[in-house]
């Protein structure tokens, strides 16, 4: 048991400089998100682009800052299972309220 703990705890952790680089990347992505909001030519791809960029930020913070990438898989299961259920619930409710097919007849 102690060997398992030792093995799990001594795998490489990011250094402070890595965290700073990740912070810079997150800032740049945020700047890109805000910028494309104001570009009229991007309106056609705004929503999917924003969703992709925010997903990248989300997974970067979860994976690196919250250490899920380096930690045992049980933590990922404890987090992503409810997250996927909550996301599914949101999508279903939006479907019920007609957000994806606004012109569909009941």
84 phi and psi angles, rounded to 5 deg: -65, -40
Tell me the closest approach of the beta carbon of residue 103 to another protein, in angstroms. Answer: 14
Site pattern 50..69 for another protein (x: CB under 8 A): xx-xx--xx--xx-xxxx--
> Is residue 89 part of the contact set for another protein (CB under 8 A)?
yes
- Residues 6 or more apart whose Cβ sits within 8 Å of residue 44: none
> Is residue 19 part of the contact set for another protein (CB under 8 A)?
yes
57 phi and psi angles, rounded to 5 deg: -60, -45
> Is residue 32 part of the contact set for another protein (CB under 8 A)?
no
Contact with another protein (CB under 8 A) among 39, 41, 47, 104 = 47
Angle between helices 16-37 and 46-60 (to 10 degrees): 170
Tell me the closest approach of the beta carbon of residue 105 to another protein, in angstroms. Answer: 18
> Is residue 27 part of the contact set for another protein (CB under 8 A)?
yes
Distance CA(48)–CA(55), nearest Å, equals: 10
In this structure, the number of other CB atoms found within 10 A of the CB of residue 64 comes to 19
Closest to another protein by CB, 2 vs 105, is 2
């Amino acid at each position: 048991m102690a060997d398992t703990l030792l093995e799990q705890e001594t795998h490489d952790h990011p250094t402070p400089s890595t965290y700073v680089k990740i912070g810079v990347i997150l800032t740049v992505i945020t700047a890109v998100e805000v910028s494309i909001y104001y570009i009229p030519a991007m309106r056609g791809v705004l929503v999917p682009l924003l969703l992709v960029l925010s997903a990248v930020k989300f997974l970067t913070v979860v994976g690196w800052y919250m250490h899920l990438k380096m930690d045992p898989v049980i933590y990922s299961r404890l987090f992503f299972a409810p997250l996927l259920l909550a996301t599914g619930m949101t999508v279903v409710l939006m479907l019920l309220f007609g957000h994806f097919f606004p012109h569909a007849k009941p």
